[in-house]
Structure 1
């Protein structure tokens, strides 16, 4: 139990559950997480270990007795017949039999059909009519000599959804958390360990929740396989539906003109298309046209009648190429099906979540702490769909007049959704409002910048906003910062392609924000004083680029960093020394001195690791030594060399986010430029101080 877990249980008693319990009870049940957490919320919503263990056994017993596995359906049907009545957990869908003028239910796993269900139940739970709902139901068996009468009777039915909640209590409890704690609580709720991710990565993943809290919100996320893009839409909420394969018909999605039956958008808060990418996917052009109209106007037509709906649309899919390849040769929408690769469709997307910034999910990334029972949070988010937070930034910031109405709508809806998620009680500071607004502008800018490449008729616009003190913030996407030589192209078929700046020099592209008076490694001008700022999740950053131009020729280097304690921090130190060993002349000797602070918890391990570094250095002509600051008062982190340079580091050498260190076949493990960095800054000064 962490301090955060204690607070979560204190502020939300009975509404949270330990997230690793889902795996403990799931077994081989093919059932969404929200179904399991519905049960766990009834029996395990506590921090008392004995009650948790007792609750787990109860939930396992309920699943064992009542969850219907397809291969055991015959046994369950027999139990119903022998006992006359049996409770089952199954996915139930309902159709209207017009011949009998009656509603009939179908049980997906149990394999029974034409079970009569009363109209009041259907009216209370209309989603039963579309794609089905997970329910706990009592099924009865009563044999009849009449062959036209089915023996199955619905006794009672309870959809697995929270029946009520106290929204004011939710808002009150939120005020007891800091912003970082609240973000971590939400992050644990969706199933991930917040310690494994940086703040930007957390916010990007939480953007996936905006369609649940914002009406008619259109989101796309494209990126590599295995980053959990579809997880939230299939497992998180009973109010969303995930369509596998990304292929759907007009009648299923919008309306069946022959029967008048409304499609998915009329019943679900979120309709998500999985595996949406694929240039060769067969798509109905009529569907695309209706989709474009719905995404823009929230309406669709049924013959002569126009209908409205509130469902948000989500499109998730995999990319085949990395970001620089797409930027150089095509664009970031290159994997869309051909009929969706249409500027009018793309322009209706409110945000583009950069899936390539999100790590491939590994086992250690899953949460073991406490989070909301997801059904509880799903109901809270649904309740907040009635609110509009889109104007909450306006007393503090003004969007650029360059931003068009459609762009502004995208920014406002993303901002509104993130504010509802993070600050439902409207208690954000000015800095926090700016952070959310920046993220919202960036998400829409990513869409618009790609439109400029696809359709030359779109005008360029500066995506920026101005603070009330006159400070102007120009927003750039991270890929624009990383690959400026490829990013700014009007169309991929331009007759005069943009040259690859620095290609002949062999430079690695660094952040344009990072390029200041001190340029990248390899600059013929040489190292100069300056300041570099790096964005969280940025890649392509190596110690060689950051340090070597300012250390080349040094014979004495002093590193002052109080946080060379844990294994990964000592490993960073070793990689710094490896950089020197690879780049200095073999006949040269370099002295490296470390000034750090002792590890109060594991001093022996720290000293053993540093001794290993010292031993390894001798073969490379590097004399490494270290000393502990006895006063334990050093805080500033910097590097001094006898070339006269001082390099100030706000994070020291610990600039990289967590990655899989034990995977010998991981490029991030072997090469720094494939790792994501934390947000950090570096300053280069001619201090006049010599390391001796």
Structure 2
């Protein structure tokens, strides 16, 4: 476990006390981690604790309205001309048919059909909305009464992007440089996503198994920090998959089991709609419970997924749809099915048993390394603020940062093969290594990477896990399509 005093000194304004019982209350209220930490930061005393639970409950009820309060907000907007500011997730869409912007607030039931953003408001707030197609923010609604043939609609009066911290990547890198022990830094990152590193240690566990469990938990963050990383994780239940992808970050999207359409993922081509899909504005799209997922058109979806996962863009109805979102497939399987040589895709829908689709997955997350989540694994104490950390990861996805870290990886890693090297395989390993470097060594530079200690740690924390994740993908392709892949072998990857 990390040194708490050191953590608070290196991150003086971005730590928060994560009280075990209090976190349970927020989970019961279905409040995401990044919102929880923002609220705790505002309401906690100097000791980091919240003593007045009743006052906290009243504040939460005021700032984050429940879905059943839609009618109250509607009446407030209509009667008073505006609502009180509240926190919610908003999505924006331009309607070329009416030449207007509309918005939706899915959690409260406001839809594009009964909303509008007037031009004078759009001109004031568009800089906070363009590029993200919406997001979490402080919102104030108004009401526009019916006029002639136009029906009444709710208007967006104010929007302030939800980012309560001043984010400085250089300051973050400087703070990371204070941690000479990468093991301690790994524990800091676990605390940032609500896990207590000491809780991963069970009686009789080997030290290496504990390390693998912690490292695997953090591997799930690669799509948060590196653009267009495609992963699959098939693991036992209750290992925290849905929590990581659904509750930690406001920039990603967890699509639950059920039906999923091309329109939802890429673009809605209905006349007058032209609504951008999830991949165009989310950092990642995690498709949960893939055993039960149903696509509205399997053949169409398989083709479009392969195109997007390969190139980062597809053509839908003559429109080019681009995105930086990684595609993540999540599913539950028994531990017994996670042994070398076993077909781990055997119970999945046919669309996921296409070797051409699997080949576009960069890595297989070894979720079986993580034990079922127990109370001891939940953070209880001072930790890095989740909201701050997810903002850092989002900023590290920028093209400039990705080029910088990829350049360092290219300097470090050399590839050898007796035959032709697969470009997909090499790109997968290098992309995973780049994400890992951002996660574990954000302070890396051209001088640091030349040191023997760094090379050794990069091999352990970045290169070896990346190769293993791609190796598992190849093994599954050999099982599913032996005619094409049985004689395929990975190249060898070394640190120069």
Q: Would you say same fold, with TM above 0.5?
A: yes
What does residue 91 of structure 1 align with?
89
Report the Cα offset of residue 280 of structure 1: 8.0
Which has more radius of gyration? 1
CA contact (8 A) 2:261 2:295 kept: no
Residues 256 and 282 of structure 1: is their aligned pair in 2 closer, same or farther, counting only changes over 3 Å? closer
CA contact (8 A) 1:40 1:56 kept: no
What does residue 571 of structure 1 align with?
none
CA contact (8 A) 2:182 2:440 kept: yes
What does residue 361 of structure 1 align with?
373
Aligned counterparts of 2:259 and 2:144: Cα–Cα separation in 1? 41
Aligned counterparts of 1:447 and 1:62: Cα–Cα separation in 2? 48
Aligned counterparts of 1:158 and 1:103: Cα–Cα separation in 2? 17
What does residue 182 of structure 2 align with?
179
Aligned counterparts of 1:147 and 1:20: Cα–Cα separation in 2? 54
Aligned counterparts of 2:27 and 2:352: Cα–Cα separation in 1? 39
CA contact (8 A) 1:218 1:351 kept: yes
Any residues of structure 2 matched to 1:541-552 within 5 Å, and which? Answer: none
What does residue 19 of structure 2 align with?
20
Query: What is the TM-score when the length of structure 2 is the normalising length?
Result: 0.83
Any residues of structure 2 matched to 1:233-248 within 5 Å, and which? Answer: 233-245=245-257, 247-248=259-260
Aligned counterparts of 2:56 and 2:147: Cα–Cα separation in 1? 39
Report the Cα offset of residue 315 of structure 1: 0.9
SS in 2 for 1:300: strand
Unaligned runs of 5+ in 2: 201-209
1:154 aligns with 2:156: yes
Report the Cα offset of residue 279 of structure 1: 8.8
Aligned counterparts of 1:144 and 1:255: Cα–Cα separation in 2? 31
1:438 aligns with 2:464: yes
Residues 63 and 347 of structure 1: is their aligned pair in 2 closer, same or farther, counting only changes over 3 Å? same
Aligned pair partner of 1:71 in 68, 71, 74? 68
Aligned counterparts of 2:266 and 2:105: Cα–Cα separation in 1? 24
Aligned counterparts of 1:55 and 1:146: Cα–Cα separation in 2? 51
Aligned counterparts of 1:39 and 1:270: Cα–Cα separation in 2? 25
Range with bigger deviation, 120-129 or 440-449: 120-129
What does residue 206 of structure 2 align with?
none
Residues 271 and 321 of structure 1: is their aligned pair in 2 closer, same or farther, counting only changes over 3 Å? same
Range with bigger deviation, 136-145 or 241-250: 136-145
CA contact (8 A) 1:141 1:151 kept: yes
Report the Cα offset of residue 217 of structure 1: 0.8
Report the Cα offset of residue 159 of structure 1: 3.3
What does residue 311 of structure 1 align with?
325
Report the Cα offset of residue 299 of structure 1: 1.9
Aligned counterparts of 1:90 and 1:29: Cα–Cα separation in 2? 14
Aligned counterparts of 1:268 and 1:92: Cα–Cα separation in 2? 13
Unaligned runs of 5+ in 1: 469-692
Higher helix share: 2
1:201 aligns with 2:217: no
Aligned pair partner of 2:301 in 278, 287, 310? 287
What does residue 273 of structure 1 align with?
287
What does residue 447 of structure 1 align with?
473
SS in 2 for 1:345: helix
What does residue 514 of structure 1 align with?
none
SS in 2 for 1:53: coil
CA contact (8 A) 1:279 1:335 kept: no
Q: Which has the higher contact order (CA 8 A, sep 6+)?
A: 2
1:410 aligns with 2:428: yes
Any residues of structure 2 matched to 1:33-52 within 5 Å, and which? Answer: 33-44=33-44, 48-49=46-47, 52=49
CA contact (8 A) 1:29 1:69 kept: no
Measured on the aligned residues, the alpha-carbon RMSD in Å equals: 3.1
CA contact (8 A) 1:236 1:374 kept: yes
SS in 2 for 1:419: helix
